[in-house]
């Protein structure tokens, strides 16, 4: 069981369609090195898919798990941990980013970070109750600039479009772009520091 320390920041790290794999373990360590507690829920409820099983992983997530059920599970985790942390944030990749965005409108959060949550376009009318930092890849099969313009008009939402393909943050995937990934992590670190400085609540 993860040790829970009063006054700490908890980051709930949400995986891609592949599940809790080497990619998620890598970013869990990165966030822990910054001094945060990290929870990595297995929304699939099974072992991770291999990267070569992309079609099967996508089908499983859509047909056996789903965005709505994932969002309900994450909201439950937020509620279960709310009194034990001074701040709770969500960080997610791909479908995990979309789930984070879906949860942002229901309260109980201090911020979300999303990387290439392409399905956010289906939930673009959500009004987050907390600051949101969203990174999109420019090379997607939909109108990324149009979505970015729409989301930038949403209060508390910052949007960055990175000249890259989907998956550019994953150091274990062929799409990985280390320079862009590190620039985004620098942005995330500043976002987390900013939210910590502006939190109105005291440590419980």
Per-residue pLDDT of 41-71, as tens digits, reads: 999 999 999 999 999 999 999 999 999 999 9
User: Mean pLDDT throughout 152-162?
Assistant: 96
pLDDT in tens, 24-35: 999 999 999 999
Give the pLDDT mean for 121-147.
Answer: 97
Strand-pairing partners, residue 13, are: 91
* pLDDT surpassing 90 at residue 195: no
Distances (CA, A) of 183 to 50, 112, 134: 27, 17, 13
| Cα Dmax for the chain | 46
63: Cβ contacts below 8 Å, ≥ 6 apart: none
pLDDT beyond 70 at 4? no
Residue 60 buriedness (CB in 10 A; 0-12 / 13-18 / 19+): middle
Given a cut of 70, whether residue 108 has pLDDT beyond it is yes
> What's the predicted TM-score (pTM) here?
0.91
φ and ψ at residue 90, rounded to 5 degrees: -105, 140
**pLDDT above 70 as % of the chain:** 92
Any residues with CB less than 8 A from the CB of 75 and at least 6 apart, and which? 103, 106, 108
- Specify the pLDDT at position 1: 32
């Amino acid at each position: 069981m993860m040790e829970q320390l009063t006054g700490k920041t908890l980051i709930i790290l949400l995986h891609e369609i592949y599940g809790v794999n080497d990619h998620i373990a890598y970013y869990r360590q990165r966030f822990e090195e910054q001094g945060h507690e990290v929870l990595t829920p297995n929304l699939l409820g099974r072992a991770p898919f291999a990267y070569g099983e992309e079609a099967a992983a996508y089908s499983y997530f859509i047909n056996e798990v789903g965005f709505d059920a994932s969002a309900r599970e994450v909201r439950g985790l937020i509620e279960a941990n709310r009194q034990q942390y001074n701040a709770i944030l969500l960080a997610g990749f791909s479908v995990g980013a979309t789930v984070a965005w879906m949860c942002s409108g229901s309260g109980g959060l201090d911020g979300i970070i999303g990387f290439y949550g392409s399905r956010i376009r289906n939930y673009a009318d959500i009004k987050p109750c907390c600051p949101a930092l969203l990174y999109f890849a420019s090379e997607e099969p939909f109108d990324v600039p149009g979505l970015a313009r729409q989301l930038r008009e949403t209060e508390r939402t910052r949007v960055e479009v990175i000249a890259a393909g989907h998956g550019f943050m994953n150091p274990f995937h062929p799409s990985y772009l280390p320079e862009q990934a590190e620039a985004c992590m620098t942005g995330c670190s500043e976002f987390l520091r900013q939210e910590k400085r502006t939190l109105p609540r005291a440590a419980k």
